[in-house]
Amino acid sequence: MSAAQPLPTADGEKDSLWQRELRQQFPLVAGHPELAYLDSAATSQKPRAVLEAVQTYLTTSNANAGRGTYPWANRTTELVESTRERVKEFLHDPEPGRSGVHFTSGTTEGLRTVARDWLVPYLGDGDEILVPFADHRAHLEPWLEAQRLLAGRGIDVQVRALPYQTVSGDYDHRALGEVVGPRTRFVAATHVHHVYGGDMNVHRIRAVVGPDVPICLDAAQSVGHLPVRLDDPALDVDFVVFSGHKAMALPGTGAVWARNTRGPAFRPDGWQGTPNTVGIVSLRAALDWLDAAGPDRIARWTAGLTTRLTDRLRHIGPYELLGCPASLAADSALAASQRRHGIVTFRHRDIPSDDLGFILFSHGFMVRADSLCQAGADPREGSVRVSLHVYNTVEEIDRLLTVLASLA
Ligand code: PMP
């Protein structure tokens, strides 16, 4: 079976030629055909355009930003400031004159900054916030820290748990109505779940909480993987927090986008220090690369691979898929409300997940095999996560399925 094998979609043939060309742009991936990198939810591989942008910057105009007045410093300042605008453009921000972009080291730091510098001063005694207790730990701890900080000042804030549907891993939007009240002042939600891969349908949260409650979206698993369009009324959120390093940029990069229409404008407190200029340069190049490749097309490719893996894996005896049991991308009636985005997590009935991770690596597959940083997860009960990006191929999925079937 060749790496150019098309997916059975309307544009399968065209997409597979396009994908093969893109894959060649990732030196680490293309240089190791014997390996399969299936851990893009942890961090993505980097295309040559990003590596070259960094090299060019460091060898032509490296300086600090916002400080000197000589050309290299001016150029660096201009790169940092224009990348804020580039982030807005990438996210299809409908009101770029009003919103703000703050650079961080990743989603964890971004969420913590929103919690500490925006949420804490915004909340008052008796207010309630709704947060996810079964998403990424990075998306729980900052809100609990904010509650503790406020408690230390004598301000009592209730933290309520977003309810979940037990089978699919989605938020339970019906039960949500019971936890939302007149004192609900803030909701923290996830765009795509890092374990289940499902779109968490934030528009349904908006429908329940009404038009005035700010929502902070953890977009670590969506930005760079699928179109994230803030001009879409279905994405009426107030903060979008993401990691650049999961979206083709260098490690140590990320951003908070703030709409600045509900509550006070977001302005991180205090002296900000030297920004990660190289990371920001890489982020800009990454966003250019992603836009040129086409987020729609990237999402279609990874959805195709996800469907293939999910729909076959669920027929192989000893494997239990976590989250939505079938890939609903295959079902157009359901696809609009829920689909897996490039993440498939499972367990083998008899083989512990960490052992399965080692076995898979002995066959060249790099997957994540542990408790996946999920809040509340029992670290002894791990799982195996396969997470995909545009450089992954049908052949890799089929090879993986062959190995998984042989372990049945
Ligand atoms: N949220 C989600 C949904 C994630 O998947 C991750 C990373 N696995 C994070 C937050 C944390 O991102 P970072 O490590 O870049 O801070």
CATH number at residue 184: 3.40.640.10
Pick the last residue of a domain from 229, 260, 292: 292
The alpha carbon dihedral of 203, 209, 215, 221 has a sign of negative
Let me know whether 311 and 218 are in one domain.
Answer: no
**Alpha carbon of 122 to ligand 1 centroid (Å):** 25
Nearest to 190 by CA among 147, 242, 255: 242
Specify which residues 365 forms β-bridges with: 36
Sign of CA dihedral 242, 247, 253, 258: negative
User: CA 351 to CA 354: how far, in whole Å?
Assistant: 8
Query: How many Å lie between the centroid of ligand 1 and the Cα of residue 52?
Result: 26
Q: Indicate if 264 and 300 belong to the same structural domain.
A: no
Same domain, 271 and 397: no
pLDDT at residue 91 in the model: 98
Beta bridge partners of 190: 218
Q: Give whole-number Cα distances, 89 to 38, 84, 86, 232, in Å.
A: 29, 9, 5, 13
- The residue to mutate among 107, 195, 240, having the most atoms of ligand 1 within 8 angstroms of its beta carbon, is 107
Same domain, 285 and 219: yes
Q: Would residue 7 count as lying in a domain?
A: no
Give yes or no: residues 180 and 309 share one domain.
no
Nearest to 285 by CA among 248, 257, 251: 248
For ligand 1, the distance from its centroid to the CA atom of residue 108, given in whole angstroms, is 6
Cα–Cα distance measured from residue 36 to residue 263, given in angstroms and rounded to the nearest whole number:
45
Q: Count structural domains, the chain.
A: 2
- The verdict on residue 216 lying in a domain is yes
- Same domain, yes or no, for 63 and 41? no
Compute CA 320 distance to the chain's CA centroid, rounded to the nearest angstrom.
Answer: 24
Residues 111 and 26 in one domain: no
In angstroms, rounded to a whole number, what is the distance separating the alpha carbons of residues 179 and 91? 30
Alpha-carbon dihedral sign for residues 27, 223, 188, 205: negative
* Protein residue with least CA distance to atom 8, ligand 1: 42
pLDDT at 239: 98
Ligand 1 midpoint to CA 282 (Å): 18
Q: Can you give the pTM of this predicted structure?
A: 0.95
pLDDT at 379: 77
Residues 220 and 326 in one domain: no
> Is 4 a domain residue?
no
Residues with CB under 6 A from ligand 1: 41-42, 106-108, 136, 138-139, 190, 194, 218, 220-221, 243, 254, 373
In the numeric block, the tokens 């050309």 are attached to 71
Q: Based on the domain organization, do 215 and 301 belong to the same domain?
A: no
CATH classification at residue 308 = 3.90.1150.10
> Of the candidates 261, 292, 323, which is a domain's last residue?
292
Query: Is residue 6 domain-resident?
Result: no
pLDDT (0 to 100) of residue 1:
36
Are 66 and 202 members of one domain? yes
C-alpha closest to that of 322 among 340, 338, 305: 340
- What is the H or E stretch that residue 289 is in? helix 277-293
- Residue 86 falls inside a structural domain: yes
Helices and strands (H and E) in the chain: how many: 14, 13
Q: Which two tokens stand for residue 339?
A: 């689909």
**Any domain includes 2:** no
* Positive/negative CA dihedral, 65, 67, 73, 78: positive
Domain match, 269 and 355 both: no
Q: Residue 21 corresponds to which tokens in the numbers above? A: 């060309």
R_g over Cα of the chain = 21
Q: Consecutive sets of 10 residues in the chain, 408 residues long: mean pLDDT of each?
A: 52 86 98 98 98 98 91 96 98 98 98 98 98 96 98 98 89 94 98 94 96 98 97 97 98 98 95 94 98 96 92 91 71 55 94 96 96 83 95 97 96
Q: Is residue 1, in this structure, part of any structural domain at all? A: no
Q: Domain end: 223, 257, 292, which one? A: 292
Segments forming the whole domain that contains residue 65: 52-292
Residue 329: predicted pLDDT:
53
Q: Do both 29 and 166 map to the same domain?
A: no
Return the amino acid letter for 370: D
Partners of 136 in the beta sheet?
Answer: 374
For residue 185, being part of any structural domain is answered with yes
Total residues found in the chain within this entry = 408
CA 393 to chain CA centroid, Å, is: 21
